[in-house]
Amino acid sequence: MGAALKFGTSGWRAVLAEEFTFDNARRVVASIADHLLEKGIAGQGVVVGSDTRFLGERFRKDAAAVLSSRGVPVWLLSRDVPTPVLSFEIRRLGAAGGINFTASHNPPEYQGLKFSTADGAPALPDVTADIERRIAETPPGSVLPEKSRSEIRSSDPRDPYLDSILSRVDRDVIRAARLRIAVDPRFGTSRGYLDEALRRAGCEVVTIHDTADPTFGGTSPQCDARNLLVMRQLVRRQKLSFGLATDGDADRFAVVDPSGRYVTPNLVLGLLAASLAGAAPQGTGIARSVATTHLLDAVAASAGRPLLETPVGFKYIGELLLAGKIFFGGEESAGLTIGGHLPEKDGILAGVLVAELIAIRQLPPDALVREMFRTLGVRLTRRLDLRLDAQIMARVRLRVASPPDSIGGRKVARTVTIDGMKAIFEDDSWCLVRLSGTEPVARLYVEARSPGALHALARDARRWLLG
C-alpha cells in the first residue's frame, strides 16, 4: 500500500521535495487516469497545465507521459496558464478533465495538483475520494512514464479565452472611459492575460511583477493588501484610475482604489453582484460561502433574488452554477464567477468586470463602496487565524461542537453548521469558527455594522472561543 495523499478544498498540496515528489505526483496522475478509464471517458483526453512554481513545466510533461502510457490522450498546454484558463480549455476541447500543477496562493516552497472534471469544475468529494483510494492502493515507485500509447498534443488557449472574457463586457464603454490601470500579476500566470484583456478593451495599462518567477519575487503569490504595497504606491504616485492584481494562478483578484487603499474582496463582491443583478436571468440567485459577507444577502433581497449559502470551497458554488441556479457566486477569499462563464473562480474575469463597472458609473472604487453602504447598509468583515497548541485546540473543538446561546452579551438568533459553527446575532452581525483539519489553526470570521462593533465582536468571539 502507498502513503495516503489527501485532497483538500482545492486539490492536493504539499511542500516540494518533501511529500510533493515526482513519485507521488505520478501516483496521483495514474490514479486519475484509472478513475477516468473506469468511467469510460478517458478517450476524451485530459488537459494538463501548471502555474509558474518550481518544476511546473517538468511536472506537467511528466504527467502527460504517465497519462499517455495508460492510453489517455493529452492536451499539454504550451506555457504556464491561469487556473480558470485551464477550466475554460477543458470545456472548449470537450476533455474528460484537467490536471493543473498549482498550489495557488500557498508559499513558494509548496507545489500542488488540482483535478477538474469534464465540466471544468474542481472535482467534488465523491470523485476525489475515489482518486484517494486508488492512490493508497498504488505502491511508491510503481508508476513510471513508460511507452506512449496515445497522442500528446500542444494547446494554446489564450486568444479563445480572452475573446470569451471580453464578450461579457461592453468594450466600447470601457474604451470611452480612458482608464489608466495598474496590473500586478504577482510573477504568476495572469501576465499576458489580465493586462492584455484590458488593453484589448482600450485601457492604458501599467504592469509590474510581470515576469514568471517561482519565488514570486521572494515574497508571496498572494494578492492581499500586504503584498500589494508596490502597486498601491504606483497607483498613487502615477495618479492611475485604480489597480488590479491576481494571485499566482490568477483565480483570486484584488482591487486598489486611486488613493492606494486596498478594497477588501467582500466589498468588491457586493459591488459586482449588485451591478449584475438587474440583467440576470429570471429565477437565478447569488451563491456565497458560509464565510462570505452578508452584503450579498442584502443584494439578493434588494433584487428579489434567492441567496444560497455553501460550505467553503468554490466547487460547491461551481455546482450551483452548472445547475443554472445562480447568476453570481463569490467567496471572501477573493473568488468569483458569473452565470454563463466557468464553474471556477476567475481573477481575470473579476478584474475586467471591475473595469467595466468603473467605466459605466464613472466613479472610483471607494466612492462606489460608499454609495453601496448608503443603499444596502454598512457591513464590515475581519478574519483572524489563531494558531493554537494541542490542549487549547481540544477545548476549542468542544466549544464549536456546542453552539452558544450568546457571545459577549449578544443573543444568538440562529446558528449555521454546514461548515464550522456560525452564530448569527439579532442585529445580523455574525461570527464563524472553522477549524483546520491539517494544522492546529482556528479561523475566526466576524462581520458587523461599524468599525467599533467589528472590533468588539472580534474581541468577544475570541474570548469565548479560547476561554
pLDDT in tens, 338-385: 999 999 999 999 999 999 999 999 999 999 999 999 999 999 999 999
Domain layout of the chain by residue ranges: 12-157, 173-262, 264-345, 380-466
**What's the confidence (pLDDT) of residue 439?**
74
d(CA 430, CA 457): 8
Contact 80, 55 (CB under 8 A): no
For domain 380-466, the CATH superfamily is Alpha-D-phosphohexomutase, C-terminal domain (3.30.310.50)
Lowest mean pLDDT among 48-52, 105-109, 192-196, 283-287: 105-109
- The pLDDT of residue 445 is 98
pLDDT tens-digit map of 290-316: 999 999 999 999 999 999 999 999 999
The model's pLDDT over 6-24, given as tens digits with 9 standing for 90+, comes to: 887 778 999 999 999 999 9
* DSSP reduced 3-state for 317: helix
Structure confidence at residue 438 (pLDDT) = 65
Q: What percent of the chain has pLDDT above 70?
A: 99
**Reduced DSSP (H G I as helix, E B as strand, rest coil) percent helix, strand, coil of the chain, to 5:** 40, 25, 35
Q: Can 12-157 and 380-466 be said to share one CATH topology?
A: no
pLDDT at residue 145 in the model: 82
Q: How far is CA 147 from the centre of its chain?
A: 36
How far is Cα 264 from Cα 217, in angstroms, rounded to an integer? 23
Question: What letter represents residue 51's amino acid?
Answer: D
Distance, CA of 207 to CA of 232 (rounded, Å): 12
Cell (9 digits) for 434? 472553522
Average per-residue pLDDT for the chain: 95
Q: What is the structure's pLDDT at 378?
A: 97
| Residue 189 pLDDT greater than 80, yes or no | yes
* CATH level 2 (architecture), domain 12-157: 3-Layer(aba) Sandwich (3.40)
What span, in angstroms and rounded, lies between the C-alpha atoms of 34 and 40? 10
246 in helix, strand or coil? Answer: strand
Is the CATH code 3.40.120.10 the one for domain 173-262?
yes
Residue 387: predicted pLDDT: 92
Pairing of strands 110-117, 12-15: antiparallel
Q: Residue 96, exposed/middle/buried by CB under 10 A (0-12, 13-18, 19+)?
A: buried
E-state strands within 185-314: 204-207, 242-246, 253-256, 262-263, 285-289, 307-310
Side-chain half-sphere of 252: how many Cα atoms within 13 Å? 21
**Rounded-to-integer distance, Cα 154 and Cα 238, Å:** 41
Q: Is 81 left (phi over 0), alpha (psi -120 to 50) or beta?
A: beta
**DSSP-assigned letter for residue 108:** T
What gap in Å lies between CA 183 and CA 210, rounded to an integer? Answer: 9
Classify domain 264-345 at the CATH class level: alpha beta
CA dihedral 131, 135, 141, 143 (to 10 degrees): -20
Cα of 163 vs its chain's centroid, Å: 22
Q: Considering the chain, what percentage of its residues have pLDDT values greater than 90? A: 91
Q: What is the pLDDT of residue 354?
A: 98
Rounded Cα distance between 397 and 444, Å, is 13
What distance in Å separates the CA atoms of residue 64 and residue 36, rounded to the nearest whole number? 15
Q: Read off the pTM.
A: 0.95
Residue 1, pLDDT score: 55
pLDDT of 146 reads 78
User: Which are the contacts of 405, defined by CB distance < 8 A and separation ≥ 6?
Assistant: 411, 412
Q: Which residues of 207-243 are buried (b: 16+ CB within 10 A; e: fewer)?
A: bbbbebbbebeebbbbbbeebbeebbebbbeeebbbb
